[in-house]
Structure 1
Amino acid sequence: MNYDCAIIGGGPAGLNAALVLGRARRKVALFDNSAPRNGVTHASHGFITRDGIRPAEFRRIAYEEVLKYPSVRHWPSEVTDIRRSELGFTLLTSSGDRVQARKLILAAGLKEVFPEIEGLRDFYGKSLFNCPFCDGWELRDQPLVIVSDTTDVFHKAKLLIGWSRDLVVCTGGRDTLSSEQREQLVSRGIRIVDTPVAAFSGRNGMLERVHFTDGTFIERSGGFISPSFVPNARFEEALGYQTTSNGGIITDEMGRTTVPGLFAAGDSAYVMPSQLIFAASSGSKAAMAVVADLAEEDWQAL
């Protein structure tokens, strides 16, 4: 039960960290409860050699690669508590196990918080998405809707016009667009609807209509929505690391947090854009930093 490094989270950040640590012959405990945020998505994009891969297939290949290194162990359970100890960190799991690790990488990612709109979950991941870079190509040249009550709505419209010129922006009645921004959108043929969205309708996950609270509707075949994000796992009280205003863990460029021996990678550190390739890269860097710190400690002990 004693490891060089424990990793919480089996997404691209945690898996890539485990791969690097395993290849460095470090003893790794990888905790993953198999509930990935992109599990509802039909395919993942933007990762060279893996463009269009199903998330489940990505995980299958990743685990096949990671677990061929004998020093890596997969724990299919949730970490419920973490405490600092003389040797590093003590982790307690939902199955009652106690694991000791010299270093710890937090890579549990984020979870999405959606607006309460009827039918949204029926279409999310199939014809409604949140990232234009991930799914804009699949919706190219279609009549699209942007549903966002945040200040990113103007930026998202500017991005999406590169994939489709037929856009409708729905603000939910929030004052998120300035007068100048509204003028710019309208001058480019983008319609703005301030009436709140009441529901989405369609068939088999394919969007057909967006319904508003005043009884009107528009026909759209896809679109983008802006959920808010919160950390999947929060241990700041127990561990004392510093966070940003949105809950992201503050790290240096190699993933080191403000707590010695504690690292964060991927969406847990709000590595943006939130894509596989960025998360995997941050996991690799955090693992390299762990190996470097362990090597320094071991060198001094020789």
Structure 2
Amino acid sequence: MMYDCAIIGGGPAGLNAALVLGRARRTVALIDNNEPRNRVTHASHGFLTRDGIEPAEFRRIAYGEVLRYPSVQHWPVEVTDIRSKEQGFEILTMNGELIVARKVILSVGLKEILPEITGLQSMYGRSLFNCPYCDGWELRDKPLVIVSDDPGVYHMAKMIYNWSRDLIVCTNGQVLLTKEQKDQLEAKGIQIIETPIEAFYGPNGLLEQVIFTDDTRIERSGGFIRPKLLPNSLFAKQLGYEASDNGMITADEMGRSTVSGLYVAGDAAYVGPSQLIFAAASGSKAAAAVNMDLTEEDFA
């Protein structure tokens, strides 16, 4: 059969798109390999009625709601190739299955590149986080470290100051801040350390000390890491869509890419806070655009 739409990626963007299209009586192939970026996180925040929910529980509830609609079919498999055809798209899975759809929504999200620091992996998602909107409340008033090798660390420090006044900024060996920026942060009592970090120390994923390459140590109870975020643009060459310099897929406000019939939802098309609520909203908009375009084509 030819589906009305194939959705690649079962995060909040893809799931919300499937929900909207299922309710619109569109046939949907929801293809997801069950490897969400937030799987290391113990709780997700900022989504009304689900604040503090475990990501796995969020997905369980979401899939239960989405798959109530009989026109939505879940394919728990990895996509290996997508090809644009005259009448739609052909999608090949790792199992050798061929899925054909009139439209495709890419909601494949982002991948995180974390700095190679001993101890970081065990603490990431437990006491070290990347989004203050998601986890700032839980770390409020604690002695925190901010780690980034990006010039945006200046604005990050100013923002996190709303949650805690006990901050130390670590640039991990990089000289990123101007004298004026250093003066402004230090005037607020924010210490700046440019020495490279050797390790994070603490039991059970809970940060206690930051250890530097010169063997100095500071005591901290948590903090924020700024990872590099790269789009999972696995099919850029095959599909030929336009993307920005940072790899984000170019799309209009409803998620239409520069390739006819191809839409994008979620973090791969949005530069801003990486939150469930933003991703879900973009999935809803992309689904509405798909339904609108299918309607116009069918009436024409």
Distance 2:48 2:191 in 1: 35
Q: What residue number does 1:169 align with?
A: 169
The answer (yes or no) to whether the contact 2:20–2:288 under 8 Å persists in 1 is yes
The aligned amino acid for 1:161 is Y
Task: Using the aligned pairs only, state the percent identity.
Answer: 68
The aligned amino acid for 1:158 is K
The answer (yes or no) to whether the contact 1:81–1:93 under 8 Å persists in 2 is yes
Residues 70-90 of structure 1 show CA distances to partners (whole Å, capped at 9, x for unaligned) of: 000000001100111121100
TM-score of the aligned structures, taking structure 2 as reference length: 0.99
Residues 44-66 of structure 1 show CA distances to partners (whole Å, capped at 9, x for unaligned) of: 00011110011000000000000
Q: What residue number does 1:149 align with?
A: 149
**Aligned Cα root-mean-square deviation (Å):** 0.8
Superposed, which structure 2 residues align to 1:126-205 within 5 Å? 126-205=126-205
Residues 130-185 of structure 1 show CA distances to partners (whole Å, capped at 9, x for unaligned) of: 01100000000000000001011011110111111100000112121111000001
CA drift at 1:205: 1.1
The answer (yes or no) to whether the contact 2:240–2:259 under 8 Å persists in 1 is yes
The aligned amino acid for 1:110 is L
Distance 1:61 1:35 in 2: 17
Do residues 237 (structure 1) and 237 (structure 2) align?
Answer: yes
Q: What residue number does 2:85 align with?
A: 85
Q: What residue number does 1:65 align with?
A: 65
Gaps of 5+ in 1: none
Superposed, which structure 2 residues align to 1:251-290 within 5 Å? 251-290=251-290
Distance 2:82 2:155 in 1: 39
Q: What residue number does 2:24 align with?
A: 24
Q: What residue number does 1:222 align with?
A: 222
The answer (yes or no) to whether the contact 1:265–1:271 under 8 Å persists in 2 is no
CA drift at 1:268: 1.5
Residues 254-276 of structure 1 show CA distances to partners (whole Å, capped at 9, x for unaligned) of: 00000000000001213522100
Distance 2:169 2:67 in 1: 46
Distance 2:80 2:217 in 1: 45
The aligned amino acid for 1:220 is R
Residues 181-234 of structure 1 show CA distances to partners (whole Å, capped at 9, x for unaligned) of: 000011110000010111001011110000001111100000000100112242
Distance 2:132 2:151 in 1: 16
- Greater than 3 Å deviation, 4+ residue runs: none
Gaps of 5+ in 2: none
Q: What residue number does 1:112 align with?
A: 112
The aligned amino acid for 2:71 is S
The aligned amino acid for 2:136 is G
Q: What residue number does 2:50 align with?
A: 50
The answer (yes or no) to whether the contact 2:175–2:194 under 8 Å persists in 1 is no
The answer (yes or no) to whether the contact 1:6–1:105 under 8 Å persists in 2 is yes
